[in-house]
């Protein structure tokens, strides 16, 4: 875990170098006003709708990639049927949350429940009955605290403390699941945002653990970085197990761009381990393009 925080500090330093240098003064000697916060803009939009019973508040991005290509399909878990899997499939994610209790600690501390579903669909594989190859279900609950702590030129806007369960809803031998507690620190400066999310996996008995070595591939947490420019958003997510002699992890690069007032185009590239639970032990190399309904920022 300490190695993760050390890497987080390096990421913070890099972020400061790239995006958070001290603002220059104008010829009159005054300091220009600070650029509006992308995180605060999102929080303001969420507050405007969270009391509306007919609105679902987005949690993670909601998107559909009608065409993705995986250059390294993981066929092993499916036995002989794995030979029928195609490299081209549909990938989509649904994610929302609800504020069920506000101001638990004075005027701060909101309790949320959330749900995220990620699916891989062999939609074009009609010879194999176009199955959903893998679906991951992730309910979670977390406390969200508004913060205003400055560190290394960034401002810590949010602190989240949560518990999450993730599984693929399968029976043996395809069953995969794990349970975690996590903390998430959400920082920003202007249109740049950084989220540092360490987690701890609850141990399970050997007889009940479908994936005892998942921590070796998923690591102790993840770091997400995003930059928004005129509704264009560039993002990078990184995980690493910090084992010098057995490096495992993943990187996801994403880019979104406006198409209409409500819909964005979306490009995503994933390389590494743990794109889905069934693939946590196999390295994935996937590229996809589609549409995005709700972004991180």
Alpha-helix runs per DSSP H in 149-296: 214-218
Helix, strand, coil percentages, rounded to 5, for the chain: 15, 50, 35
* Number of residues assigned to the chain: 297
Q: Which amino acids are annotated catalytic?
A: 165, 167
Taking the C-alpha atoms of residue 286 and residue 263, their distance in angstroms, rounded to an integer, is 23
SS3 of residue 230 by DSSP:
coil
Is the peptide bond prior to 173 cis by the omega test (within 30 degrees of 0)?
yes
CA dihedral 106, 107, 108, 114 (to 10 degrees): 110
* DSSP string across 139-163: EEEEEEEEEEEEETTEEEEEEEEEE
Instruction: Dump strand ranges (E) for 15-79.
Output: 57-58, 62-70
CA distance 264 to 63: 9
CA distance 278 to 249: 15
Cα(192)–Cα(53) distance, rounded to whole angstroms?
Answer: 31
Cα–Cα distances (Å) from 29 to 22, 26, 33, 132, 190, in that order, read 14, 5, 13, 61, 21
């Amino acid at each position: 875990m300490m190695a993760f925080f050390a890497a987080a500090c390096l990421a913070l330093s890099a972020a400061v170098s790239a995006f958070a240098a001290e603002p220059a003064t104008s010829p009159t000697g005054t300091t220009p006003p600070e650029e509006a916060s992308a995180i605060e803009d999102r929080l303001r939009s969420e507050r405007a709708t969270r009391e509306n019973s007919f609105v679902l508040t987005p949690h993670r991005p909601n998107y559909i990639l009608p065409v993705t290509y995986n250059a390294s399909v993981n066929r092993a878990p499916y036995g002989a049927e794995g030979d029928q899997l195609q490299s081209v499939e549909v990938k989509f994610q649904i994610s929302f949350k609800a504020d069920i209790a506000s101001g638990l600690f004075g005027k701060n501390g909101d309790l949320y429940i959330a749900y995220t579903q990620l699916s891989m669909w062999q939609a074009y594989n009609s010879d194999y009955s176009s199955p959903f190859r893998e679906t991951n279900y992730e309910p979670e609950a977390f406390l969200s605290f508004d913060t205003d702590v400055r560190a290394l030129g960034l401002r810590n806007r949010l602190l989240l403390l949560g518990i999450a369960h993730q599984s693929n809803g399968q029976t043996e031998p395809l069953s995969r699941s794990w349970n975690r507690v996590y903390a998430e620190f959400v920082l920003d400066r202007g249109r740049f945002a950084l989220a540092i999310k360490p987690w701890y996996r609850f141990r399970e008995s050997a007889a009940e653990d479908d994936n005892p070595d998942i921590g070796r591939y998923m690591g102790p947490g993840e770091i997400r970085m995003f930059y928004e420019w005129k509704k264009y958003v560039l993002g990078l997510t990184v995980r690493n197990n910090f084992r010098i002699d057995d490096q495992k992890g993943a990187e996801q690069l994403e880019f979104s761009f406006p198409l209409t007032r409500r819909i964005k185009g979306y490009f995503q590239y994933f390389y590494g381990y743990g794109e889905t639970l069934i693939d946590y032990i196999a390295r994935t190399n996937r590229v996809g393009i589609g549409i995005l309904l709700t972004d991180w920022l």
